[in-house]
Amino acid sequence: MPASNHPLRAANPIIPGFHPDPSICRVGDDYYLACSSFEYFPGIPIFHSRDLVHWTQIGNVLDRSEQLRLPASMPSSGGIYAPTLRHHGGRFWLIVTNCAEGGGNLIVTATDPAGPWSDPIPAPGVPGIDPDLAWDEDGTCWCTGAGISQVRLDPATGRTHGSSRQLWSGAPGAQAPEAPHLYRIGDYWYLLIAEGGTERGHAVSIARARTPDGPFEPCPANPVLTHRGTRHPVQNTGHGDLVQGPDGSWWLVFLGVRPRGGTPGWHVLGRETFLAPVTWQDGWPVVGEVTLDLAALPWPLDPAPAEERRDDFENAELRPYWISVRDRSAEHCTTKERPGWLTLRARGGSLDEPDVVFTGRRQQHLTCRARTLIDPSEGRGGLAVRLDERHHYAIEATGTHVQVIARVGDLRTVVAEQPVPAEPLVLAVTVSDPTSSRGPLAGPDVVSLGVEASDGTFTSLAELDGRYLSTEVAGGFTGRVLGMYAARGAVHFDWFDYEPLDG
């Protein structure tokens, strides 16, 4: 079995915030990692690291409208599911499912993972979701998907050969066998899967065979990773991918959540990417301790904190961490109309609409502050904490007043309103720990929305319970995104600042 020389601890999460379904590959001394993006554009953020702990976003795989079409009719938490990223034959290959109508499984390639990536190659013969790519010694490409079924595939054309066949369904009776990854390690082919559903019962299990198409024998110690039924601060652990370091060490990247508050516990950042060490015993992987070490986290994912925390919108193109709902056209989102400002031109009438013009970044810290200087003189818009169309908080401005709006399910309420101050208007959102404990009824956090004076004084207009912007309340697969939007006319934003308050 391969060597396992590595430290026994890792700072986690390695990529905080809404970055689920990680898939990883190594080329030389460089690691690359891709995640799901669901209804957001551009799709599939891609990261680079040299040490598995410090990660920098180098781009997005699907960053052109001809690569990714997400119609307004597609519900939130639809769209791009579970990419697999691999390097083979001198190229990077990525296969993924677009769950929007007319989407299906598709393949893109690149020589540089930062892009550009090719136009999608449809793979209509690949069944289901969560497709994986693996090549055997004679060059045959095997595609394995949720279910767990497998078919031979020509990744250059998307054509399949033969019919798909069932390989293994994980533990007897376990729900949702999915997220398969197939590897040749030593004398065996290993099939890693997720099972148990992506909620508290989530788990990672593994089987092995002498050939890539089986038959597979399950590991006697399955599941090799789960936190179900424990008090561990990281829950919903699953959807893993194995990688070997250049020193022979082995690691598992996987998704997990950090629930907070009382019962049942609410996670608000979405599913995040975590890392655990792997050793080998009797030909089977053993996943080591999953540590939660916030103090060791780098900020923000690279060595340039000032540049990443604040964007003055001086570049022609937005930085790769900015995401928009379903699409982003130059007609509705541009830094070129007013130099040094981001201009958003409304399409939908509010954040309740699926075609809202919204541009934001993922909330990556349990406590944080976001601010923006807004000019709403030509329209109406503001700063929002978005989970989906039916779950969001916002502070919205016109040329005469600001108001705080809360949307929770079928209820939409104007919580507070006041005249606009006679100075540059800075809108602010602060996410903080609850001010008082309510035992099992305590929420995960408090979201304060208000305005900031020129001397930096923050005036809160409303303090709202954060549980209503959580997956446990709203459902779905995403996490909070903090950002700017336009609800009428043109709204201009001079800068946006994001500050972690975790310490």
SS (H, E, C) 206-230: EEEECCCCCCCEECCCCCCEECCCC
Residue 404 has pLDDT above 90, yes or no: yes
Residue 3 has pLDDT above 50, yes or no: no
124 Cβ partners below 8 Å, 6+ apart? 104, 105, 158
Q: How far apart are CA 342 and CA 331, in angstroms?
A: 12
* Higher-confidence position of 470 and 296: 470
Q: What is the pLDDT of residue 303?
A: 37
Task: Count Cβ atoms below 10 Å from residue 458 Cβ, excluding itself.
Answer: 15
Q: Model confidence over 21-69: pLDDT tens digits? A: 999 999 999 999 999 999 999 999 999 999 999 999 999 999 999 999 9
Position 423 confidence tier, pLDDT thresholds 50, 70, 90: confident
307 Cβ partners below 8 Å, 6+ apart? none
Q: What is the pLDDT of residue 480?
A: 98
Residue 21 · residue 77 · CB < 8 Å: no
Amino acid at 123: A
What length is written for the chain? 503
How high is the mean pLDDT of the chain?
A: 93
Q: What is the pLDDT of residue 107?
A: 98
Tell me what the mean pLDDT of segment 126-144 comes to: 96
Position 297 confidence tier, pLDDT thresholds 50, 70, 90: very low
Least-confidence region, from 58-62, 75-79, 107-111, 303-307: 303-307
Q: Model confidence over 252-287: pLDDT tens digits? A: 999 999 999 999 999 999 999 999 999 999 999 999
Q: What is the pLDDT of residue 307?
A: 52
DSSP class of residue 467 equals G
Q: What is the pLDDT of residue 265?
A: 95
Q: What is the pLDDT of residue 10?
A: 58
Annotated catalytic sites, by residue? 21, 178
- Is the pTM higher than 0.85? The answer reads yes
Tell me what the mean pLDDT of segment 156-163 comes to: 95
Amino acid at 261: G
How many helices and strands (H and E) does the chain possess?
2, 36
249 Cβ partners below 8 Å, 6+ apart? 3, 4, 5, 6, 277
- HEC readout, 10-58: CCCCCECCCCCCCEEEEECCEEEEECCCECEECEEEEEEECCCCCCEEE
Residue 258 · residue 38 · CB < 8 Å: no
Tokens of 498: 């994001």
What are the structural domains, with CATH classification, of the chain?
23-296 (2.115.10.20), 305-500 (2.60.120.200)
